[in-house]
Structure 1
Amino acid sequence: MMGTKLKQLIICFWITLPFCVTQKAKDRSPRQRDAEFPDKYQTCMQGVPGVQGRDGNPGINGIPGTPGIPGRDGLKGEKGECVSERFEDPWKPNFKQCAWNSLNYGIDLGKIAECTFTKQRSDSALRVLFSGSLRLKCKTACCQRWYFTFNGAELEGLCEGVQAGLVDIGIWVGTCADYPRGDASTGWNSVSRVIIEEMPK
């Protein structure tokens, strides 16, 4: 009789114990059960890492933004300077000498000699020098003058305004205003030279 009651008590305890454990597990929240899961199964081995995923497709363009507020006009600037640059070839020397041995030209009025020069630029000037003997004889006060012409035009000092190309440079003798003409002679018993040089302005 005692053995039968003990068996019934053990069976009742065996049936009631799982019910109590299950009831306690039901009373816990899902978060508490998830926290207990790793502690219970710590002996499990970690699996092989998975293959890395691919990049996703590019997203669609967003909605265009609204136009901004138009800017205001700035302050008026100061007036600039007009600068013009000239790109030209480097300056090259250009000169010529014409020489005559013993001209002995005894005219008192007219052209004595001529030298042709090739001018390279239109914006340059010409300088002409004469070297030689000049003679003037007079019984009373008289005057003669020697001068140069450029393509027939008499110019003074540095000759400007002559176009590029051939230029005929003449040596002339003439009279002076308000004075009688004398006896002139050019290049007597000597070498006469004309040196022509083209110069930048």
Structure 2
Amino acid sequence: MGSLARLVLFAWLILPLFGAESGKKRSMRQRDDEERYNGLCTRGSPGFPGREGNPGMNGIPGTPGIPGRDGIKGEKGECLQERLEEPWRINYKQCAWKALNYGIDLGKVVECTFTKIRSDSALRVLFIGSLRLKCKTPCCQRWYFTFNGAECSGPLPVEAIIYLDQGSPEFNSTINIHRTSTVEGLCEGINAGLVDVSLWIGLCSDGYPQGDASTGWNSVSRLIIEELPK
């Protein structure tokens, strides 16, 4: 190899080393300059926060958990049977007389037959008409209802009384006043079906003698029967 070729080869091997050494020195010198600069200059105010990024995608679904164990067996519950009832239906009847003019003192005055729908209901009865009692000595009469021939026992009879003291002996006269009056009440415990409702006249329970009675004189009389829920 000639001397010129050896000189070129030597330069090719040595020059990179000088370049690397120079690069190191430049890096050290630049770092020293930055340290001196940061020590002499004040730091500026921070910039505005950046906007939030877009939401990321959902992750991979997790694996199903372990099934839970069966709980303790509960106590047996009560069986409540729903009671289905029909809606209440209005049920009433009216019997009317233009002018009874009935002068009976003891016995049945009027009657009216009624169809009762339920056994657990009550009957409201009302008689409205003219009643009169007269006598020369103290007397008492009783107007009362019966249901299929028996007085009400749920809870007590349905009745009304008229008591009259003696008249005026010096004139040998008696009081004779006809007044529109009512006999009214509720009776329970009557079975469903046909019910014969009757108005009777009888004696009072305190032993007074009977007088001269009159029912429905010269006027309209009514007997009204109505079934009511309890």
- The verdict on a shared fold, with TM-score over 0.5 as the criterion, is yes
Residue in structure 1 matched with residue 193 of structure 2 by the alignment: 165
Say if 1:81 and 1:165 are closer, same or farther in 2 by CA, change over 3 A: same
1:86, distance to aligned residue in structure 2 (A): 2.6
- Cα deviation, 1:62-107, whole Å, max 9, x if unaligned, reads xxxxxxxxx8777x79xx8896643111001000100011111111
Q: Tell me, yes or no, if structure 1 residue 99 matches structure 2 residue 96.
A: yes
Counterparts of 1:81 and 1:186, CA distance in 2: 59
- Cα deviation, 1:124-183, whole Å, max 9, x if unaligned, reads 110001111000001111100101111011113411111111110001000012211111
Q: Tell me, yes or no, if structure 1 residue 193 matches structure 2 residue 222.
A: yes
Residue in structure 2 matched with residue 110 of structure 1 by the alignment: 107
The letter for the 2-side match of 1:142 is C
209, 213, 230: which one aligns with 1:184: 213
Counterparts of 2:120 and 2:83, CA distance in 1: 12
TM-score by structure 1 length?
A: 0.59
Q: Tell me, yes or no, if structure 1 residue 135 matches structure 2 residue 132.
A: yes
Say if 1:180 and 1:82 are closer, same or farther in 2 by CA, change over 3 A: farther
Counterparts of 1:83 and 1:134, CA distance in 2: 54
The letter for the 1-side match of 2:224 is I
Counterparts of 1:128 and 1:162, CA distance in 2: 13
Counterparts of 2:81 and 2:145, CA distance in 1: 36
Gaps of 5+ in 1: 1-70
Aligned to 1:153, the other structure's residue is in SS state coil
Count, aligned residues? 130
Residue in structure 2 matched with residue 56 of structure 1 by the alignment: none
Say if 1:106 and 1:166 are closer, same or farther in 2 by CA, change over 3 A: same
Over the matched positions of the two proteins, sequence identity in percent amounts to: 75
Say if 1:189 and 1:87 are closer, same or farther in 2 by CA, change over 3 A: same
- Note the aligned Cα RMSD (angstroms): 2.4
- Cα deviation, 1:100-123, whole Å, max 9, x if unaligned, reads 111111111000111000111111
Aligned to 2:186, the other structure's residue is in SS state coil
Gaps of 5+ in 2: 1-70, 158-184
TM-score by structure 2 length?
A: 0.52
Counterparts of 2:85 and 2:72, CA distance in 1: 44
